[in-house]
């Protein structure tokens, strides 16, 4: 639908700036609402991707143009948000123009990624027609990886090539063909849900908190202190000592304070729980 002119397209040049922004804001709200129709498929993707990562696999995004840039952004946010390894979520983006049609590059990038049956691959394309993405997904399927297609076009080749098709019909864009608008909004929301859902299922959060955070700046150190204090009720002096001995890791500090153990034993307990704090605390059975 992105190439179809908006119902009010012929009148847009006469809109005031406020009227134009009001229209765009309303259309963005409708794009976010449209994601609701795909929640079942998104949930399935979260569960299946989490299974692959739990077995030692990686999550790979393939996209081009705006879709590729959104994938790059989502992948880049995962280590900082969840404290996961830098290479656990990888984005492969072809860029704009002719690169979007480069079938060979899609094949090469997918082969270079070294995909295995333990991996999950998400192809992101607003139209569901991008040759680069389709080629990459073809290689992913041959490698035995889980294949998820995220598009804004029902019944597209991308959806047909995927094990799980997430198709969010956002309707005509305010500027026909500009998928950085509503389609981009919907894709960003869906990618947020997938990566956040996956890492919550894998125990990289605890009680709605970013306990996997890597404390590399003052803001993050203050956040870690607040989380540990809220979750243990410890004194300021005890908090400082625990976080210092834990190397700034909220998970390790929480285990130290909850069980009265040293940092080494806390790290061992956390490792045995595959990094899942709730499991390490005995609040949830291993999955």
- Mapped onto helix, strand or coil, the DSSP state of residue 174 is coil
What's the CATH code of the domain at 257? Answer: 1.10.8.1080
54 and 189 together in one domain: yes
Tell me the pLDDT tens digit for each residue of 162-191: 999 999 999 999 999 899 999 999 999 999
Task: Give residue 255's pLDDT.
Answer: 97
Pairing of strands 146-151, 59-63: unpaired
Mean pLDDT, range 192-221, rounded to an integer: 94
Mean pLDDT, range 68-82, rounded to an integer: 96
Is 4 part of any domain? no
Closest Cα partner for 195 from 36, 32, 37, 61? 61
Task: Give residue 248's pLDDT.
Answer: 95
Checking if the pLDDT of 84 tops 90, the result is yes
Task: Give residue 177's pLDDT.
Answer: 87
Number of CB atoms found within 10 A of residue 174's CB: 18
Task: Point out which residues pair with 92 in neighbouring strands.
Answer: 62
Task: Give residue 285's pLDDT.
Answer: 87
Average pLDDT, the chain: 95
Q: Where does the pLDDT of residue 142 fall: very low under 50, low under 70, confident under 90, or very high at 90 and above?
A: very high
109 and 225 together in one domain: no
Task: Give residue 287's pLDDT.
Answer: 77
Checking if the pLDDT of 3 tops 80, the result is no
For CA atoms 13, 15, 17, 19, give the dihedral sign: negative
Contact assessment for residue 168 and residue 156, using Cβ atoms and an 8 Å cutoff? no
Tell me the pLDDT tens digit for each residue of 58-71: 999 999 999 999 99
Encoded tokens for 231 = 């979750």
243 and 126 together in one domain: no
Pairing of strands 146-151, 164-167: parallel
- Mapped onto helix, strand or coil, the DSSP state of residue 74 is helix
- For residue 250, give every residue at least 6 positions away whose Cβ sits within 8 Å of its Cβ, in sequence order, or none: 209, 211, 212, 213, 224, 227, 228, 243
Task: Give residue 75's pLDDT.
Answer: 98
Is 3 part of any domain? no
Task: Give residue 215's pLDDT.
Answer: 87
Q: Where does the pLDDT of residue 286 fall: very low under 50, low under 70, confident under 90, or very high at 90 and above?
A: confident
240 and 194 together in one domain: no
Domain final position from 170, 201, 232: 201
How many folded domains does the chain comprise? 2
Number of CB atoms found within 10 A of residue 37's CB: 11
CA distance 84 to 123: 21
pTM: 0.94
Mean pLDDT, range 133-148, rounded to an integer: 98
Checking if the pLDDT of 1 tops 80, the result is no
Q: Which domain holds residue 173?
A: 33-201
| Count of all residues that appear for the chain in the document | 287
Q: Where does the pLDDT of residue 2 fall: very low under 50, low under 70, confident under 90, or very high at 90 and above?
A: low
Task: Give residue 231's pLDDT.
Answer: 96
Checking if the pLDDT of 242 tops 80, the result is yes
Burial track 123-161 (b if 16+ CB lie within 10 A, e otherwise): bbbbbbebbbbbbbbbbbbebebbbbbbbbbeebbbbeb
121 and 191 together in one domain: yes
Task: Give residue 214's pLDDT.
Answer: 83
197 and 233 together in one domain: no
Contact assessment for residue 133 and residue 70, using Cβ atoms and an 8 Å cutoff? no
CA distance 136 to 112: 10
Is 10 part of any domain? no
Distance of CA 80 to the CA centre of its chain: 12
Task: Give residue 264's pLDDT.
Answer: 97
The residues annotated as belonging to the active site are 77, 100
């Amino acid at each position: 639908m992105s190439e179809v002119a908006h119902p009010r397209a012929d009148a847009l040049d006469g809109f005031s700036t406020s009227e134009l922004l009001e229209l765009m804001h309303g259309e963005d709200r409708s794009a976010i609402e449209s994601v609701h129709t795909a929640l079942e498929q998104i949930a399935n993707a979260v569960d299946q991707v989490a299974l692959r990562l739990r077995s030692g696999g990686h999550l790979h995004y393939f996209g081009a143009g705006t879709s590729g840039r959104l994938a790059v952004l989502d992948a880049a946010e995962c280590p900082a948000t969840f404290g996961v390894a830098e290479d656990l979520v990888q984005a492969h983006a072809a860029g704009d123009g002719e690169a979007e049609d480069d079938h060979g590059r899609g094949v090469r990038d997918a082969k270079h990624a070294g995909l295995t049956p333990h991996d999950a691959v998400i192809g992101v394309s607003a139209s569901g027609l991008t040759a680069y993405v389709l080629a990459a997904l073809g290689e992913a399927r041959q490698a035995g990886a889980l294949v998820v297609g995220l598009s804004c076009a029902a019944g597209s080749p991308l959806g047909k090539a995927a094990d799980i098709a997430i198709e969010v019909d956002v309707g005509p864009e305010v500027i026909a063909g500009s998928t950085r608008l509503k389609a981009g909004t919907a894709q960003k929301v869906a990618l947020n849900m997938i990566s956040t859902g996956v890492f919550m299922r894998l125990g990289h959060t605890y009680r709605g908190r970013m306990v996997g955070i890597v404390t590399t700046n003052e803001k993050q150190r203050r956040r870690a202190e607040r989380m540990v204090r809220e979750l243990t009720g410890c004194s300021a002096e005890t908090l400082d000592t625990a976080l210092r001995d834990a190397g700034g890791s909220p998970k390790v500090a929480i285990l130290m304070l909850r069980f009265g153990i040293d940092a080494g034993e806390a790290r061992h307990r956390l490792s045995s729980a595959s990094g899942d704090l709730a499991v390490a605390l005995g609040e949830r059975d291993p999955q």
